Amino acid sequence: MAIVTISSELGAGGPEIGAALAKQLEYRYLEREVIAEAANRYGLAEAKLLRLDESKPSLFERIDAEGQLYVAGINAVLWEFAQSDDVVLMGRGGQWLLRHIPHALHVRVTAPFDVRIARLAQPTGGEMGKTSPSRPLSNEVRRDDAGRAGRVRHLYGVDIRDPALYHLVINTTQIAVAAAVELLAAIARRPEFTATEVGRGIVLDRRLASLVEVALAKHPETRRRRITVEATAGVVTLSGPSNVYRAAKLARDVPGVRDVNVVELEPPPGFL
């Protein structure tokens, strides 16, 4: 079974496609529930999570320990869901986070700006063109576009609009929701998107690494350190430009960790 990630512009129809695809494939559909899941599982303040999730991080939030814990917590939840294979993930940077998973299908759903505005302006059951879009609505869509792009750029260093991140880009002015669902269901069932032991092993490794990252982000002595975490078959490797031995002690207490290797890097010039 596959993992499907969907990145969508506001008003393009991504959530409709994602929900219908999950129903057809009998997959679990994951949207905003991952935020609550992270908040409950890691004891995070949900209001803080929602603010970070909905807007481009400010300079303070990008370096704030809670912001780092947000990223680590959300990643850990996504990797946990990815272990079950049969999921449709809406947003949350899944196209980047799961980029090396061979059985992950990455999709971008888009539509021209004016079309998206017109769709959002329609009352439930209304006909296209019967309602004039307001300036506040146009501004809201622009802010949402900028927020999503800025958030992914700051968290992962990539452009959310880059077609190289996706297997398929769907323009919903050219392909209807029903047709998009049928197309994606057919692709998700293809042999190349069938989970293998290799693919599942990568997910398990990244899941374990994400749990270690959460442990480091929660501890006052390690939450501000720049420590790279890698895991292979239960063996965790920690790399950083400062003393990482405290981090190693924390990593050893994470369930599933069999051993820990430490690589203490030379700090860059001017590093304090």
Q: Is residue 269 part of a domain?
A: no
How many domains is the chain partitioned into structurally?
A: 2
Residues 19 and 150 in one domain: yes
Q: In this structure, are 153 and 235 located in the same domain?
A: no
pLDDT in tens, the chain (272 residues): 789 999 999 999 999 999 999 999 999 998 876 666 666 766 665 545 555 555 455 544 554 556 677 778 888 888 988 888 889 999 888 899 899 999 999 999 999 999 999 999 886 444 444 445 567 889 999 998 998 888 888 878 889 999 999 999 999 999 999 999 999 999 999 999 999 999 999 999 999 999 999 899 888 888 877 889 999 999 999 998 776 888 999 999 999 999 999 987 765 555 44
Q: Are 12 and 116 in contact (CB under 8 A)?
A: yes
pLDDT at 133: 55
Cross-strand bridge partners of residue 264: 240
CATH code, 12: 3.40.50.300
pLDDT for the residue 157: 85
Q: Are residues 153 and 242 in the same domain?
A: no
Q: Are residues 67 and 10 part of one domain?
A: yes
Say what the pLDDT of residue 256 is: 95
244 with 132, same domain? no
210 inside domain: no
Q: Is 12 helix (H, G, I), strand (E, B) or coil?
A: coil
Sheet with 259-264, edge to edge strand ranges: 228-232, 235-240, 259-264
**One domain for residues 75 and 177:** yes
Report the SS3 class of residue 267: coil
Domain presence at residue 200: no
Specify whether 136 is located in the same domain as 239: no
User: Domain ends where: 193, 211, 228?
Assistant: 193
The burial of 237, by beta-carbon neighbours within 10 Å (0-12 exposed, 13-18 middle, 19 or more buried), is given as: middle
Residue 208 in domain? no
Q: What is the pLDDT of residue 27?
A: 94
Residue 12 resides in a domain: yes
Rounded to an integer, what distance in angstroms lies between the CA atom of residue 39 and that of residue 12? 28
Q: Are residues 88 and 12 in the same domain?
A: yes
CB 91, CB 31: distance < 8 Å: yes
Both 233 and 137 in a single domain?
no
The answer to whether residue 201 is domain-embedded is: no
pLDDT of 127 reads: 45
Does residue 212 fall inside a structural domain? no
Q: Which residues touch 69 (CB under 8 Å, ≥6 apart)?
A: 42, 44, 214, 217, 218, 223
Q: Is residue 251 part of a domain?
A: yes
Q: Which pair of tokens denotes residue 112?
A: 């021209």
Per-residue confidence (pLDDT) for residue 26, from 0 to 100: 94
CB 187 within 8 A of CB 179: no
Residues 57 and 136 in one domain: yes
Q: Which domain, by its residues, includes 224? A: 219-264
> In terms of domains, do 17 and 145 share one?
yes
DSSP 8-state class, residue 56: P
pLDDT of 128 reads 47
> Are 148 and 46 contained in the same domain?
yes
